[in-house]
Structure 1
Amino acid sequence: MKHRDDISETEALRLELEQTRQHLADTVQELTHQLNVPKRLKESAAEAGSRVKANAGVAGQRIRANAGYAGLRVKDTATHVPALTKQHPKTTAAVGGAVLLGAGAAAWLASRSK
């Protein structure tokens, strides 16, 4: 194995020329890729499609998990309603009256607008 000092000037120039050729080939390859717009667009679209699919999968999992949790909360709350109405009959009557009053007002307004 020769050291840099042991290499002749001609050999040093050949090595430098080979490195320059390799660098030039790499540069040409990169420029060719940069100038191939249709191919780059296809690559970008494929990457975007992959990201959308991945995000949609994650979003779907979150929605399913949250929907299950919400369903449990509604079911849990609904089972407590009868006990709550017995514990707070005046509040239940007031809320029921307000709902009926609102429904009556909405029906009256709807009949007036005809």
Structure 2
Amino acid sequence: MSTTKNAAHREPMTDSETLREDLDHTRQHLADTVQELTRRLNVPHRMKETASSAGHRMSDVAGQTGDKMKQVPGAMKELPATGKRHPKAAAAIGGAVVLVAGAMTWLARRHK
């Protein structure tokens, strides 16, 4: 493998320079591999990262759900008229609301 020492002068590298460069490259690759293995084997740290990530996702979902729940009172005012026109649809929507509220309560208690 004959690479160049300086691209402008195009002087060929000696065998010892080539070996040193190859050794430096190998050392860097080995250091990167050891660092990655150390990260992967640090189970307690990875569990904390995963739990933290899950917590952030849950708070995002809870915030979005809270925003949606703020819209419910306005929609509730429209239900009587909709219920008279479409009683089966109103019953299905009411059931879905009860189901979602129950699921949210269950999830909130489960994560405490």
Displacement of 1:54 after TM fit? 0.6
Give 3-state SS (helix, strand or coil) of 1:31's partner.
helix
Runs of 4+ residues over 2 Å off in structure 1: none
Q: Show structure 2 runs of 5+ residues with no match.
A: 85-112
Structure having greater relative contact order (Cα 8 Å, sep ≥ 6): 2
**TM superposition score normalised by structure 1:** 0.58
Distance 2:48 2:30 in 1: 26
Instruction: Report how many aligned residue pairs link the two structures.
Output: 77
In the alignment, residue 14 of structure 2 is paired with which amino acid?
Answer: S
- Out of 67, 71, 76, the residue aligned to residue 71 of structure 1 is 76
Cα root mean square deviation, aligned: 2.4
TM-score under structure 2 length normalisation: 0.59
Shift of 1:68: 3.5
**Structure 1: runs of 5 or more not aligned:** 82-114
Q: Secondary structure of 1:52's partner?
A: helix
Counterpart of 1:13 (choices 19, 23, 28) is 19
Greater share of helix: 1
